[in-house]
């Protein structure tokens, strides 16, 4: 058992560093990231196994992404090539195409959520606690700090009587999925193995690329959520990015249906708020991650003072800095070239 992971409760740091301590001084998000990262590194000291060091490195990457965003311009331009390709290859389709950077609060919740789930799952299976290396592998799953989404639709004016719209749209979506890896690989992206075992494999997805996709269409989530997810490593930018592919019906279900993001976040909060079966005080990494998530979930946003952010309460929010809500970086909408050509 790793000594640090088994640190007793009475040695828990009462002055534990957490993001919520930095949200009341009127600083910008960049200054908050700098200060939080600096203090996590000071806390880590010379300990190479410190999760605070891993945490700080994650935040340094996020900060660099926001400060030195030339790579975002390059990345969005290279991904935009696929948008332009789609407008020519699929003239009858309508689609939206946009990208976003995950907000600081969501990123912090998710990073600590990986620690919570990693420790609790390991403890449930082994009765002991994971090493620092094993936990670093767990948080290494965080690869959607930057994400892009393609949503397609077949306009009704292009359908013939008796056509199955859903079937047609799904067939086109898989066609796009089959073309995407090679297209982006030629532009500096490397598709990453999904490392997920899925019961069903769609015959529409080419066998040589199945390893890269999380296919939630052939294997819907328990909420009914459906989509195709793929992660790429952007070699020029040295960063990961995720692409999601959906039909309009799938997107509607995810955004305003039973799988909408607010419900997803609530489920995530409930999961991260659950103490599981890990005894309090036995794993400092779990206890501190749990406390950090709790402090964010109990945050009164109306009292937060971060530059370019204001909230009347936890529902009425004007976030101009990416503290709470994702920041969009690449919005495009393409309407079918011939959408209005048919006259009934």
Q: What is the pLDDT along the chain (344 residues), one digit of tens a residue?
A: 333 334 433 344 557 899 999 999 999 999 999 999 999 999 998 887 789 999 999 999 899 888 877 778 888 889 989 999 999 999 999 999 999 999 999 999 999 999 999 999 999 999 999 998 888 888 877 888 999 999 999 999 899 999 999 999 999 999 999 999 999 999 999 999 998 889 899 999 999 999 999 999 999 998 899 999 999 999 988 889 999 999 999 999 998 886 554 444 555 555 544 555 688 889 999 999 999 999 999 999 999 999 999 999 988 999 989 999 988 888 888 988 776 554 44
Does residue 209 contact residue 245 with C-beta atoms inside 8 Å? no
Backbone φ, ψ for residue 309 (5° rounding): -130, 135
Does residue 78 contact residue 184 with C-beta atoms inside 8 Å? yes
- How far, CA to CA in Å, does 321 sit from each of 31, 32, 46, 105, 327? 12, 12, 33, 11, 8
- How far, CA to CA in Å, does 106 sit from each of 112, 113, 150, 194? 10, 10, 22, 22
Task: Quote the percentage of the chain above a pLDDT of 70.
Answer: 88
CATH of 70-297+317-334, one of 1.10.3720.10, 3.40.50.720, 3.20.20.70, 3.30.460.10: 3.30.460.10
- pLDDT tens per residue, range 201-211: 999 999 999 99
Alpha helices in the chain (DSSP H): 29-44, 51-67, 70-89, 104-126, 132-139, 165-185, 248-255, 261-273, 284-297
Burial (0-12, 13-18, 19+ Cβ within 10 Å), 120: buried
- pLDDT tens per residue, range 190-226: 999 998 889 899 999 999 999 999 999 999 998 899 9
User: What tokens were used for 116?
Assistant: 């919570």
Which pTM value belongs to this model?
A: 0.84
Backbone φ, ψ for residue 282 (5° rounding): -90, -25
Name the helix (H) or strand (E) containing 309.
strand 309-311
Q: What is the DSSP letter of 322?
A: S
Which residues are registered as beta bridge partners of 96? Answer: 151, 333
Q: 3-class SS at 138?
A: helix
SS3 for 253-302 is HHHCCCCCHHHHHHHHHHHHHCCCCCCCCCCHHHHHHHHHHHHHHCCCHH
């Amino acid at each position: 058992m790793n000594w640090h992971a088994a640190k007793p409760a009475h040695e828990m740091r009462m002055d534990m560093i957490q993001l919520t301590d930095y949200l009341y001084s009127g600083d910008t998000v960049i200054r908050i990231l700098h200060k939080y990262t600096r203090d996590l590194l000071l806390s880590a000291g010379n300990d190479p196994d410190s999760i605070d060091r891993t945490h700080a490195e994650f935040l340094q990457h996020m900060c660099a992404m926001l400060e030195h965003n030339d790579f975002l311009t390059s990345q969005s331009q290279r991904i935009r090539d696929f948008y332009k390709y789609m407008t020519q290859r699929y003239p009858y389709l309508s689609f939206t195409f946009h990208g976003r950077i995950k907000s600081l609060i969501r990123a912090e919740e998710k990073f600590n959520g990986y620690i919570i789930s990693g420790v609790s799952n390991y403890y449930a299976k082994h009765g002991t606690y994971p090493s620092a290396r094993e936990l670093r592998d767990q948080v290494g799953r965080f690869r959607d700090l930057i994400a892009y989404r393609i949503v397609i639709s077949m306009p009704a004016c292009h359908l013939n009587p008796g056509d199955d719209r859903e079937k047609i749209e799904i067939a086109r979506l898989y066609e796009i999925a089959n073309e995407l890896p090679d297209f982006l690989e030629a532009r500096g992206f490397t598709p990453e193995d999904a490392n997920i075992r899925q019961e069903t494999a769609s015959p529409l997805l080419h066998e040589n690329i199945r390893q890269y996709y999380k296919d939630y269409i052939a294997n819907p989530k328990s909420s009914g959520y459906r989509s195709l997810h793929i992660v790429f490593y952007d070699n020029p930018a040295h960063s990961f990015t995720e692409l999601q592919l959906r039909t309009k019906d799938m997107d509607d279900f995810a955004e305003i249906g039973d799988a909408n993001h607010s419900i997803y976040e609530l489920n995530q909060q409930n999961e991260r708020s659950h103490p599981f079966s890990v005894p309090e005080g036995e794993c400092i990494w779990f206890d501190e991650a749990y406390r950090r998530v709790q402090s964010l979930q109990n945050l009164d946003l109306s009292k937060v003072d971060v530059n370019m952010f204001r909230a009347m309460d936890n529902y009425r929010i004007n976030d101009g800095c990416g503290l709470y809500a994702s920041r969009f970086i690449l919005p495009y909408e393409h309407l079918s070239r011939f959408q209005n050509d048919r006259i009934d």
